[in-house]
Structure 1
Amino acid sequence: MSQMDETFSGTKDVADALRFDEAGLDRWMRANVDGFAGPLSVSQFKGGQSNPTYRIDAGGKSYVLRRKPPGNLLPSAHAVDREFRVMSALGTTGFPVPRMHGLCEDRDVIGTEFYVMDFVDGRIFWDPFLPDLPKDERGAIYDAMNATLAQLHGVDPAKAGLGDYGKPDHYIARQIARWSKQYKASETDTIESMDRLIEWLPGATPEQERSGIVHGDFRLDNMIFHKTEPRVIAVLDWELSTLGDPLADFSYQLMQWRAPKEMRNGFLGSDLKSLGIPTEDDYVRAYCERTGRDGLPKLDFYFAFNLFRFAGIVQGVYHRSLQGNASNAKAREYGAMVKPMADYAWTFAERMGA
């Protein structure tokens, strides 16, 4: 198992700061989850930065509980109610999501809002280079990922009951405004390139051509693959999902190909063909074929935008770690990542004439 997979896979004892009233949860699950039979035991998943996530074992069955973190939170962040809603709706369309059991908005039960869903038993790949797989299987994993994102972008929000899940137009502009505000709310140091991006991005935004459901954080480790087949059986972590520009979603994932290895283990500079991983051009071509596009113009803008947005997310994780309520022990290391991300984002802005 690779170092990344070893670090993030599986569960651990619940961190002291993230413990909750297990008896209260037991009572709630008996009342709200069909077929539930206690007593229950609770462990915490190692992975995950934003919303603490727990494995619940009880009566020979396994569930997953995802909750808002305790402590002072940024406005509109950690929207577990939205995660519950979008996964519940997508489950009716045949899109791969876990079965949802219930949403609890009563903070008195365990201290924060939460929802419970099925535990999906499969493979999660934390290392994008897929070192534990043979070369001839890696391409199939990425093709399945590509097909799953294209499937999501083909879902009609209105038919899925998500017509009011967000404003479908001007997604990029709203995201720039949101993450500029969130970044400033969690700012710990002045980063010149972030300030330049906040000023430049609004006036450089291209016109949105299509609208659909966007995941907001679509990447390899946010999905569960079948135990033996190169097939996605569940997409997780919908906290940032809304209606918007599918190209923002796709280009965010495409950053894997543009990021250097020291930045989220990116592919830049790697010989992907020798690894069996599709090149950026191949990956773009497959997505375009699946979604009926001729090509993806202005990718440099989308790369600048996505790096800026991700820097804002990472800054929030770091800020929470200083307050002691981030859910991952490595969160403090994220503080050093924000400036390199912002600086790199600005290089794409410059390529767009900034």
Structure 2
Amino acid sequence: MMSNNELPLDAVSDFLRNNFTGLQGDLSVSRTAGGFSNPTYFVKVGDWQAVLRKQPASVSVKSAHAIDREFRVMSALHGSGVPVPEPMLYHADKDVLDTPFYIMEKIDGRVFDEYELPGVVGSRRGYYRAMCEAMAAMHKFDWQGAGLTDYGKPGNYFVRQFHGWSRQWEKFDVDENPFIDQMISWLADNIPDSELLSICHGDFRVPNVMFHPQSTEVVGILDWELSTLGHPLADVAFNTQAYHMAPDENGGLLGLDLSALGIPEESEYLDWYYELSGCEERVTTFHRVFAMFRAAVGSAGIAARGIAGNAFTSDATKTGNRLAQAYAKRGIDILMKEA
């Protein structure tokens, strides 16, 4: 058994050399900064580079670690107008590592942890436009023609997701959070009647978007672990929740001078999306609160993994609890302001 932060180098080296021809040199492995749920590593043999992504050693929520689904959806999207790394090889057995894993292309680019896009000189407008274009392209992708009709369930996506995330919250033994309970009560009575479906990323935020090293182009959408057939406005609300979060709350924008930064206002960004996607439905208070609810419960899940000793950072419990409180409080703020 290996630890959460280590790979059995000899076994990985043998596997790579047996499956990829012409590899010369020693294997080097380094853990990526992201991938809280599914451990992700850069692997390099000589000049050859790739990314290895695996399930965690202990799976707390099976649906959140289905890397076979990640591999499948990226395989369908690769080569379309939706930018994703090339999936190279999926290994379902546990003979090499202690879990299934896959190998994908390593793409070069810039990933920002904050919506302010720190380090960018001048206007951020082009980056936001490119991110919006990538999201719209994903939602317009012909998932039926790509053979993904069974990638999610038909019917009202929000009904299924609301009940699923609510059940998860009930199971977590973490800090009390009455704001989550308040959101659950309100959301239960306000689920919209819509069966609109598209490929839904599930975590479409700035940190999961890779930009070209020298331009505003999006070269890759990352971390597909929560993807499914879902309602596109769930992604849109999740993508824009930063407008309602402070910079110290997962890199939000609230309180920053957007004009000086060259960042579009939320209303303009949403108008871009509606135009690019052709979506006739509009983001409402429900979508915004639901996004905060999902983020709060997801953060509580990080805290729960920390408590169980299955996290990949030493401060997972503290960070997860802090973010769960922040997201939930912002959800209630939206309710107080808009509902």
Q: For this structure pair, what is the TM-score category when the shorter chain's length is used for normalisation? A: over 0.9
Q: Report the alpha carbon displacement of residue 32 of structure 1 after superposing the two structures with TM.
A: 2.9
Q: Deviations over 1:283-337 (max 9, x none)?
A: 011111112245625x211111110100111011111112222123442322122
Q: Which residue of 1 aligns with 2:137?
A: 151
- 1:270 alignment partner, SS class: coil
Q: Deviations over 1:248-284 (max 9, x none)?
A: 1111101011222332221122220111111111101
2:33 corresponds, among 33, 46, 57, to 46
Q: Equivalent residues in 2 for 1:2-13 (5 A)?
A: none
Paired with 2:217 and 2:56, the residues of 1 have a C-alpha distance of: 31
TM-score, normalised with respect to structure 2: 0.93
Paired with 2:247 and 2:89, the residues of 1 have a C-alpha distance of: 39
Query: Structure 1: which 5+ residue stretches go unaligned?
Result: 1-14
Contact 1:301/1:348 (CA < 8 Å) preserved in 2?
no
Mean CA deviation greater in 227-236 or 207-216: 207-216
Contact 1:64/1:116 (CA < 8 Å) preserved in 2?
yes
Contact 1:212/1:243 (CA < 8 Å) preserved in 2?
yes
Q: Which letter does structure 2 place at the counterpart of 1:181?
A: R
Q: Which residue of 1 aligns with 2:287?
A: 302
Q: Report the alpha carbon displacement of residue 135 of structure 1 after superposing the two structures with TM.
A: 1.9
Q: Report the alpha carbon displacement of residue 58 of structure 1 after superposing the two structures with TM.
A: 0.6
Q: Which letter does structure 1 place at the counterpart of 2:106?
A: F
Contact 1:103/1:116 (CA < 8 Å) preserved in 2?
yes
Paired with 1:33 and 1:172, the residues of 2 have a C-alpha distance of: 42
Paired with 1:202 and 1:165, the residues of 2 have a C-alpha distance of: 25
Paired with 2:275 and 2:159, the residues of 1 have a C-alpha distance of: 27
C-alpha RMSD of matched pairs (Å): 2.0
Q: Kindly tell me: are residues 270 and 81 of structure 1, through their superposed partners in 2, closer, same or farther at Cα, counting changes over 3 Å? A: same
1:126 corresponds, among 109, 113, 130, to 113
Q: Which residue of 2 aligns with 1:95?
A: 82
Across the two proteins, how many residue pairs are aligned to each other?
337
Instruction: State the identity as a percent.
Output: 38
Paired with 1:181 and 1:295, the residues of 2 have a C-alpha distance of: 28
Contact 2:114/2:250 (CA < 8 Å) preserved in 1?
no
Paired with 1:125 and 1:58, the residues of 2 have a C-alpha distance of: 27
1:249 corresponds, among 211, 215, 235, to 235
Q: Which letter does structure 2 place at the counterpart of 1:18?
A: N
Q: Equivalent residues in 2 for 1:36-185 (5 A)?
A: 36-37=23-24, 39-136=26-123, 138-185=124-171
1:195 corresponds, among 165, 181, 192, to 181
Query: Structure 2: which 5+ residue stretches go unaligned?
Result: none
Paired with 2:220 and 2:260, the residues of 1 have a C-alpha distance of: 29
Q: Kindly tell me: are residues 327 and 223 of structure 1, through their superposed partners in 2, closer, same or farther at Cα, counting changes over 3 Å? A: same
Q: Which residue of 1 aligns with 2:268?
A: 282
Contact 1:51/1:78 (CA < 8 Å) preserved in 2?
yes
Q: Which residue of 1 aligns with 2:331?
A: 345
Contact 2:157/2:195 (CA < 8 Å) preserved in 1?
no
Q: Kindly tell me: are residues 282 and 34 of structure 1, through their superposed partners in 2, closer, same or farther at Cα, counting changes over 3 Å? A: farther
Matched, 1:331 2:316: yes
1:239 corresponds, among 217, 222, 225, to 225
Contact 1:169/1:245 (CA < 8 Å) preserved in 2?
no
Q: Report the alpha carbon displacement of residue 342 of structure 1 after superposing the two structures with TM.
A: 1.7
Contact 1:55/1:63 (CA < 8 Å) preserved in 2?
yes
Mean CA deviation greater in 198-207 or 164-173: 198-207
Q: Which letter does structure 2 place at the counterpart of 1:319?
A: A
Contact 2:114/2:247 (CA < 8 Å) preserved in 1?
no
Q: Kindly tell me: are residues 213 and 47 of structure 1, through their superposed partners in 2, closer, same or farther at Cα, counting changes over 3 Å? A: same
Q: Equivalent residues in 2 for 1:306-325 (5 A)?
A: 306-325=291-310
Q: Report the alpha carbon displacement of residue 200 of structure 1 after superposing the two structures with TM.
A: 3.0
Q: Kindly tell me: are residues 82 and 35 of structure 1, through their superposed partners in 2, closer, same or farther at Cα, counting changes over 3 Å? A: farther
